[in-house]
Amino acid sequence: MAATLFANMPPTTAFGEDLRVAFDPYVTYAGLWQNWAMFETIPYFRSIHPVLLAHYAGGQDLERGAMLPGLQPYRHRTRLAGLFLRFTFPPSDVEWFVHAYLHKACAAFEEATGARPSSVGLRLDSERLIPLVEVRRSGLMAWPSHEMSAVAGPCD
C-alpha cells in the first residue's frame, strides 16, 4: 500500500524524493509508475497537443501553451489528455468550466503581454487515428488534425 501511495505522490511534495527511494524497486517491478484512466474508451487520437490562441483588437494573434498558470506548454499526462479532450468537445454540463478556464487564460495572456486580448480559444492539435482500411492503403497510422474548442469566448 505504501508503494502505491509513493508512486502517486509527486516528488515536489514536502516529503520529497527521500521517502520514495526505498519503494522504487517495487514500484518499477509492479508497474505502479504507469498512468491510466479507468473505463477509457477506444482511442481516437495518437497524440494531442492543446494550445491557447489569443486574438487582440489590433489583429494580432498569439499562440501559447495551454497549461495555467503561466501559459506553459502541455506535457502529456493521461488525466490531462482527458481534461483537454473534454474542453475541446465539451458536453453541455462542462461548458461553464471551460468558460472559467478561458477567463483565466485571458488574465494569463494579459499578465504575460501587458494587454488584454479581445478573445481566447483553445485549439487541439493532434494526430487522429485513422481506420484500419486507410492504414493499409496509406501506410500511415494517423492524420494531423487541428480542432477548435466548441467553447471560446470574449475576454470581458
Q: How far from chain centre, in Å, is Cα 45?
A: 13
Average pLDDT, the chain: 83
Question: How many CB atoms are located within 10 Å of the residue 24 CB?
Answer: 15
**pLDDT value at 68 more than 70:** yes
Report pLDDT for 91: 81
The confidence score (pLDDT) of residue 120 equals: 93
Determine the pLDDT at residue 34: 60
Domain ranges of the chain: 1-34, 45-154
Triad 91, 93, 96: Cα angle to 5°: 105
The predicted-structure confidence for 2-38, as pLDDT tens digits, reads as follows 666 666 666 666 666 677 777 777 777 666 656 555 5
Give residues with Cβ within 8 angstroms of 17, minimum separation 6: 11
Q: Who contacts 28 (Cβ-Cβ below 8 Å, separation ≥6)?
A: none
**DSSP letter, residue 126:** E
Question: How many of the other CB atoms lie within 10 Å of CB of 128?
Answer: 18
Q: Which residue has the higher pLDDT, 134 or 40?
A: 134
